[in-house]
Amino acid sequence: MLLANKMTHRGLTYLADRFTDGRGLLGLRLGHLNTLTISTPLMAKQALKIHDVVFSNRPASIAITYLTYNRADMAFAHYGPTWRHMHKLCVTKLFSHRHKNSWFSVRREVSSTVVVISNCSGRPVCIGEMIFSLAKNIIFSAAFGSHSHGNEDLIGIIQEFSKLFGAFNIGDFFPWLRWLDLNGLNKRLKKARLELDYFIDKIIEEHRENPKAKDDVNRDMVDEMLDFLKDTEVIGKSNFGQAEELKNLGLTRDNIKAIIMDIMFGGIETVASAIEWAMAELMSCPNERHKVQTEIAEVVGLNRRVEESDLDKLTYLNYVVKETLRLHPPIPLAPHETADDIILDGRFVSARTRVMINIWAIGRSKSAWKDPDAFRPSRFAIGERKAAHRDFRGSSFEFIPFGAGRRSCPGMQLGLYAMELALAELLHCFDWELPDGMSSSELSMEDSFGLTVPRAFRLVAVPTLRLTCPLEI
């Protein structure tokens, strides 16, 4: 249990601060595994830019291997031709701004959520649950064409996946103890994947039985992936032909199931967590919340809703998004694995070393950030010496909430759009207060460790309608 507690983002930050010389390289021998933790911007740049190819593999824990159908997905597959083809598919077909259904689903579901919240005006609402439901509906609409597939059981499965991905499993470090299943993880893994299998298989079969033409405006992400399924029956049933790229990219059924799992987990849990953290930080800092709401009112006015074209004009909202992602990155520990032996900052690192990029620690580095633990969005304003020009798209290694290099998050643009629009609408349409006279200083800001780091306690607040116009969908 002591070892498990130290293998969190906070535990590894503590060990790096205590046992390294400030360079941010912490080597650990954990059972039969060589492990290296990187906790500073300088070393992150060395690994993710200068030696990016060597550090582009992913480690395979027992949980990851089993839940991703033996690493048939994109997020945890090793770097190589198959991964490159899957990445190209996701970037150009699934998460591209040209895939209009994905972006339209964000606008529609955010608008629906605002209407639901308006019906609770003056009463406490669980923002955490509302936002999780919002993120789920966005991803289901974009990926599956409808969020009618979703149910409470599936939400529980997704949350269980998050815990299992980040759980400490003694079998990963001491393989000869795996059969004992000392902490019951193997039973949980089988149960979780069996439940998800049923859900995903149902979605795939529904899409196979009702194929859509390439020019059909209602095509969703599953339709796009089925174009590349290695299945002559599906190809024969389709009337729209196959692109030459199909010869180069063939997806197995397990590939498609694993990518669906990536989309559900990566799109729902990470987006929901980021939005909830932003709202929590703003509830704990009323002055910052007032600044954002004042800006939105000046740009948009109180007589209409926020539109996509308004987002680029909301400068302080952009600062809030950046500051939230700095303090609460969607994935606090980015797992990598070395493909070859390498010398890193004078240290020999052998092939197949498990490398953890501590994004959480990098975002709170005292050498890179002034008052690193404080929520201060204005640090990104022009005139701030260090932070003003830092960008989270992978070029500023002090600030890499979505990773960097070849393995950076392919869904970043869609996730950012969902986060920005949801925050803008929630703050523009409603004033918010904590329930039962709670002061901002009493609000818990504890997190709960998994592959993602959601709040330990759901955020609850009281909305009051702010706009003078009707809230129409």
Q: What is the mean pLDDT of residues 122-132?
A: 95
In a domain, 473, yes or no: no
Q: What is the mean pLDDT of residues 236-255?
A: 55
Range with the poorest average pLDDT among 71-85, 173-187, 200-214: 173-187
Range with the poorest average pLDDT among 1-5, 176-180, 283-287, 316-320: 1-5
Between 163 and 99, the higher pLDDT residue: 163
In a domain, 25, yes or no: yes
Is residue 268 within 8 Å of residue 158, measured between CB atoms? yes
pLDDT at position 333 is: 93
In a domain, 260, yes or no: yes
In a domain, 471, yes or no: no
pLDDT of residue 444 exceeding 90, the answer is yes
Q: What is the mean pLDDT of residues 326-345?
A: 95
Q: What is the mean pLDDT of residues 441-452?
A: 88
pLDDT at position 199 is: 87
Per DSSP, helices labelled H in 119-264 are 127-144, 152-166, 170-173, 185-209, 221-226, 232-237, 253-264
Instruction: Give the CATH number for residue 94.
Output: 1.10.630.10
Query: Which segment, 107-111, 404-408, 430-434, 446-450, is predicted with the most confidence on average?
Result: 430-434
Is residue 39 within 8 Å of residue 16, measured between CB atoms? yes
Q: Is 301 strand, coil or helix?
A: coil
**pLDDT band of 99, cuts 50, 70, 90:** low
In a domain, 472, yes or no: no
Q: How far apart are CA 260 and CA 105, in angstroms?
A: 17
In a domain, 243, yes or no: yes
Q: How far apart are CA 371 and CA 287, in angstroms?
A: 18
pLDDT at position 149 is: 57
Range with the poorest average pLDDT among 200-214, 236-250, 375-389: 236-250
285 is in an annotated binding site: no
Q: What is the mean pLDDT of residues 20-40?
A: 89
In a domain, 46, yes or no: yes
Range of the domain at 19: 2-465
Between 150 and 466, the higher pLDDT residue: 466
Which tens digits make up the pLDDT trace of 392-415?
Answer: 877 899 999 999 999 999 888 889
Is residue 461 within 8 Å of residue 434, measured between CB atoms? yes
Q: How far apart are CA 457 and CA 275, in angstroms?
A: 14
DSSP classification of residue 445: -
Instruction: Look at the chain and report how many structural domains it folds into.
Output: 1
* Displacement of CA 373 from its chain's centroid (Å): 21
CA angle 62–448–77, rounded 5-degree value: 30
Average pLDDT of the chain? 86
**pLDDT band of 147, cuts 50, 70, 90:** low
Range with the poorest average pLDDT among 198-207, 295-304, 328-337, 435-444: 198-207
Q: How far apart are CA 441 and CA 433, in angstroms?
A: 13
Q: How far apart are CA 369 and CA 322, in angstroms?
A: 13
pLDDT at position 247 is: 46
**pLDDT band of 223, cuts 50, 70, 90:** confident
pLDDT at position 239 is: 36
| pTM recorded for the entire structure | 0.90
Token output for 37 = 């933790």
Q: What is the mean pLDDT of residues 139-157?
A: 72
What percentage of the chain has pLDDT greater than the value 90?
53
Q: What is the mean pLDDT of residues 440-451?
A: 89
In a domain, 183, yes or no: yes
pLDDT of residue 8 exceeding 90, the answer is no
- Cα Rg for the chain, rounded, in angstroms? 22
Range with the poorest average pLDDT among 138-147, 186-195, 267-276, 392-401: 138-147
36 — phi, psi (to 5°)?
A: -130, 130
Range with the poorest average pLDDT among 7-21, 155-169, 302-316: 155-169
**pLDDT band of 323, cuts 50, 70, 90:** very high
**pLDDT band of 2, cuts 50, 70, 90:** very low
